Amino acid sequence: MADIDVNDISLHITDSGGDGRPVVLIHGWPLSGASWSEQVPALTEAGYRVITYDRRGFGESDKPESGYDYDTFAADLDGLLTSLDLTDASLVGFSMGGGEIARYIGTRGTDRLHSVVFAGAVPPYLLKTDDNPDGGLAESDVQEMEEGARTDRENFLDGFTTNFFSVDGELKVTDQQRQDAIALEQHARDEALVACIGAFGRTDFRDDLTKVDVPTLVIHGNGDAVVPFEVSGKRTAEAISGSELVVVEGAPHGFNVSHAAEFNAALLDFLKK
């Protein structure tokens, strides 16, 4: 474990080291890099150099008052890749983390990249608008989430985390695993928690996706109640020419935990390419 300085803040990272191809895991909201606990051992055992980091405002990274937008998140990711001098890297973005990948490529290209993975990820555009009628969130939905996180954080996160791991109201992990996720969420700064809802709920990644020109895996659970497959994974796969799509049957949003064996198998198979 270590900390690196990027954009006037410190990001907390874990780096398995070694000379294998780097794989950077970008966590979802409102978690931290520790949420990849089911993936790190499998990837390390397969010979990859595995790097996780806590997004600004979350986990053990610095928690500034501002900067909770995707241009800044992409700049933080760029700072990490540059600071560690990573090349031929594979980026794996879960949920909100898929937005970092899209905006990073949209603004900085793919020179440092080998491949990318969008896992239950928010692109191309969650907000329903006149020119995006297939979005999954109305503006009122985003505002309701923001209000819940702002005014009743504990109960909001309890309900959100249950939904995160559920399909049709049925929890697909143990309650201990749900509690473990809630524990990770406690480290988030209040302002970061709320501002990120607006970031993932209102950011349009459609143009960014047109610039993805490296091998791409889109993996999504078809029972995802947080970022529905039809809204995000399906559309992202259609938007990126030549992308590979894996749909995990009966899997909720938090499928890297609930369906870790299937998730890891698909990820490792793709990374070999």
Which among 114, 93, 39 is positioned nearest to 265, based on CA atoms?
A: 39
Specify the amino acid at residue 155. Answer: N
CA atoms within 13 A on the CB side of 160: 21
CB of 19 within 8 A of CB of 47?
A: no
Which among 57, 53, 73 is positioned nearest to 7, based on CA atoms?
A: 73
CA angle 268, 272, 273 (to 5 degrees): 125
pLDDT at 2: 84
pLDDT at 84: 96
CB of 30 within 8 A of CB of 185?
A: yes
Beta bridge partners of 220: 247
Torsion 31-248-22-91 (CA) sign: negative
CA angle 19, 263, 101 (to 5 degrees): 65
Which among 26, 38, 28 is positioned nearest to 89, based on CA atoms?
A: 26
Which among 64, 59, 49 is positioned nearest to 3, based on CA atoms?
A: 59
Beta bridge partners of 244: 217
pLDDT at 1: 72
Specify the amino acid at residue 255. Answer: F
Per-residue DSSP letter, 259: T
pLDDT at 59: 98
Contacts of 270 (CB under 8 A, 6+ apart): 115, 117, 215, 217, 244
pLDDT tens, per residue, the chain with 273 residues = 789 999 999 999 999 998 999 999 999 999 999 999 999 999 999 999 999 999 999 999 999 999 999 999 999 999 999 999 999 999 999 999 999 999 999 999 999 999 999 999 999 999 999 999 999 999 999 999 999 999 999 999 999 999 999 999 999 999 999 999 999 999 999 999 999 999 999 999 999 999 999 999 999 999 999 999 999 999 999 999 999 999 999 999 999 999 999 999 999 999 998
Integer CA distances (angstroms), 123 to 39, 165, 212, in order: 22, 20, 12
Catalytic residue set: 95, 224, 253
139 alpha carbon, distance to own chain's centre: 21
Domains of the chain (ranges, CATH numbers): 2-271 (3.40.50.1820)
Locate 86 and state its tokens. Answer: 């990573």
Q: Please report the DSSP string for 189-255 in residue order.
A: -HHHHHHHHHHHHH---HHHHTT--S-EEEEEETT-SSS-TTTTHHHHHHHSTT-EEEEETT--TTH
